[in-house]
Amino acid sequence: MERKEVIVSEQELARQKEFTRKMREMNDRRTRTPLALVDTFGCQQNVADGEVLMGMLREMGYELTRDENQADVILLNTCAIREHAEKRVYGHLGRLSHTKAAKPDQIICLCGCMAQQKVVADKVKNSYHHVDLVLGPQAEWRLPELLHEVYTKNKRVFSIENEHGRIAEDLPIVREGGVRAWVSIMYGCNNFCSYCIVPYVRGRERSREPEKIIEECRGLIAEGYKEITLLGQNVNSYGKDLDTEYDFADLLSAINAIPGDYWLRFMSSQPKDATNKLFDTMARCEHVAKQLHLPVQSGCDRVLKAMNRPYTRAKYEEMIAYARSVMPSMVLTSDVIIGFPGETEDEAMQTVDLVEKTQFDALFTFIFSPRPGTPAAKMDDPVSREEKQVWFEKLVDAQNAISAKKHAAYIGRTVKVLVDGESDDEAFPLAARTEGNRLVRMKGDKALIGTFAKAKITDSNTWALYGEAVEE
């Protein structure tokens, strides 16, 4: 697509503002302020999208609620990465038929990645008649217009056109928490990993202009946010569509130059686009957290090729060795899929071997989940779920032992943490994160929430560190 076709024009945005005005006028005529609920499933990109949806709803005159029985509008902001996530959404949709029955004028919307799939939209159209509006990620900036159509035409609306996707700037955002902020730097994906539905539901890669991103980050830092996470399906390919030499490492450097007391993170990364320049930039920039989430998915070259992951195990290990050489304290995490179609036990154990040799701090592990519409869903898959579960448990056991050992090494150390909320552990009432994004449950005054603090680590387990706040 031409760059001018990627950016939503000022005229198109003005049209949505007009529908926002109409919706607000409609809501102002009600006898009470209407309520809206946005329920987000899935990844951090969905969380960021949900904050924009809440921003638009608030501008339309809605107040936000978490009570689906009281809500006048409910948006399920969905994820399509795994079958389990989809089943949860369908279960939730089924339950909402009861809230709709008790409140017939309630508007129920399905949005996000699930909604962009035709098979899902058709299922909702035929089997979930209480759903009023279905819109995919590419249409979310048009929510005011689509919601207005539902109300004024009194009909169900489906907006899931197959398109590459566009960028709508300056949309309102309701950020939750006031400590951590998500900033989308690009949308879509060009990689087409054989197991992944994302390129089909989020369109092609398209980068925001760096000036817009830097301006947004500068504003967040001025407002007092202590951590900013840059988001994209593959942040390492940022800028390739801008027709300049400007790349993701350059963007990190530019944001890092903004004065303030904050940490800068990013996700997700594709190993094929990770460069020494990126690692050097991370090492040099004082605000960039020395934490890298670099999904490897498999330790077997044949499986990587079948996954359409264009790197080898040796290349991945080479990247990690260089990154650690310039960032010795780097915390490394990754994603791994076990049981890819055609994978043998020996190939799965090659992944376990990679995990043991690489010594990740933590892993996000999954048993393969076929996504209709992807090449992997059509591949021969003779291994039973039960056998895959055995392989999976070996992987998890190996990583749990590594994580426990790495966490135990923190005991006795005093580390800088960002205290971002309350814990669910009465003995350690505060929840915090280290620069490496390790969870710390800690003792201390609740006045520390929203600030950087020092924590002396006194205990640990596989999943968390435990400690107490100490004076600087």
Residues 81 and 133 in one domain: yes
Q: What is the CATH number of the domain that holds 219?
A: 3.30.750.210
The pLDDT value given to residue 243: 87
- Per the model's pLDDT, the better-predicted residue between 162 and 303 turns out to be 303
- Per the model's pLDDT, the better-predicted residue between 367 and 164 turns out to be 367
Q: What is the CATH number of the domain that holds 455?
A: 2.40.50.140
The pLDDT value given to residue 467: 97
Residues 208 and 355 in one domain: no
The pLDDT value given to residue 3: 59
Over the stretch 319-366, which tens digit does the pLDDT of each residue have? 999 999 999 999 999 999 999 999 999 999 999 999 999 999 999 999
The pLDDT value given to residue 258: 98
Q: What is the CATH number of the domain that holds 388?
A: 3.30.750.200
361 within a domain of the structure (yes/no): yes
171 within a domain of the structure (yes/no): no
Residues 216 and 205 in one domain: yes
| Dist CA 253 CA 286 (whole Å) | 10
169 within a domain of the structure (yes/no): no
Q: Which helix (H) or strand (E) holds 44?
A: helix 44-59
Residues 324 and 451 in one domain: no
| Dist CA 207 CA 210 (whole Å) | 8
| Dist CA 330 CA 78 (whole Å) | 32
Question: Closest by alpha carbon to 399, among 452, 358, 431?
Answer: 358
Question: Closest by alpha carbon to 425, among 443, 402, 452?
Answer: 443
Over the stretch 251-273, which tens digit does the pLDDT of each residue have? 999 999 999 999 999 998 999 99
- Per the model's pLDDT, the better-predicted residue between 472 and 379 turns out to be 379
| Dist CA 407 CA 460 (whole Å) | 6
Picking from 350, 379, 404, the residue at the C-terminal end of a domain is 404
Say what the pTM is: 0.94
Residues 285 and 299 in one domain: no
The pLDDT value given to residue 315: 98
Over the stretch 400-435, which tens digit does the pLDDT of each residue have? 999 999 999 999 999 999 999 999 999 999 999 999
| Dist CA 76 CA 114 (whole Å) | 10
The pLDDT value given to residue 282: 98
- Per the model's pLDDT, the better-predicted residue between 138 and 56 turns out to be 56
Locate the DSSP E strands across 105-246. Answer: 107-112, 133-135, 157-159, 180-184, 186-187, 206-207, 227-231
The answer to whether residue 2 scores a pLDDT higher than 60 is: no
Tokens of 306: 């079948």
Residues 384 and 281 in one domain: no
Scored b (16 or more CB within 10 A) or e, 223-233 reads eebbbbbbbbb
Residues 16 and 150 in one domain: yes
**What's the mean per-residue pLDDT of the chain?**
95
Range of the domain at 295: 291-404
pLDDT band (50, 70, 90) for residue 163: confident
| Dist CA 157 CA 109 (whole Å) | 9
The pLDDT value given to residue 369: 92
Picking from 373, 404, 435, the residue at the C-terminal end of a domain is 404
| Dist CA 392 CA 407 (whole Å) | 22
108 within a domain of the structure (yes/no): yes
172 within a domain of the structure (yes/no): no
Over the stretch 23-34, which tens digit does the pLDDT of each residue have? 999 999 999 999
**How open is the CA angle 244-249-251, to the nearest 5 degrees?**
70
Residues 387 and 430 in one domain: no
Picking from 404, 439, 455, the residue at the C-terminal end of a domain is 404
Q: What's the total number of domains in the chain?
A: 4
Question: Closest by alpha carbon to 165, among 141, 190, 138?
Answer: 138
The pLDDT value given to residue 20: 98
| Dist CA 340 CA 455 (whole Å) | 41
Q: What is the CATH number of the domain that holds 109?
A: 3.40.50.12160
Over the stretch 84-127, which tens digit does the pLDDT of each residue have? 888 999 999 999 999 999 999 999 999 999 999 989 999 999 99
C-alpha pair distances (Å), 259 with each of 35, 218, 219, 363: 39, 9, 11, 33
Residues 192 and 328 in one domain: no
Tokens of 153: 């035409």
168 within a domain of the structure (yes/no): no
305 within a domain of the structure (yes/no): yes
Dihedral class, residue 383 (left if φ above 0, else alpha if ψ from -120 to 50, else beta): beta
Residues 208 and 60 in one domain: no
Q: Is 71 helix (H, G, I), strand (E, B) or coil?
A: coil
166 within a domain of the structure (yes/no): no
Residues 145 and 11 in one domain: yes
Percent of the chain, pLDDT > 70? 99
Residues 153 and 24 in one domain: yes
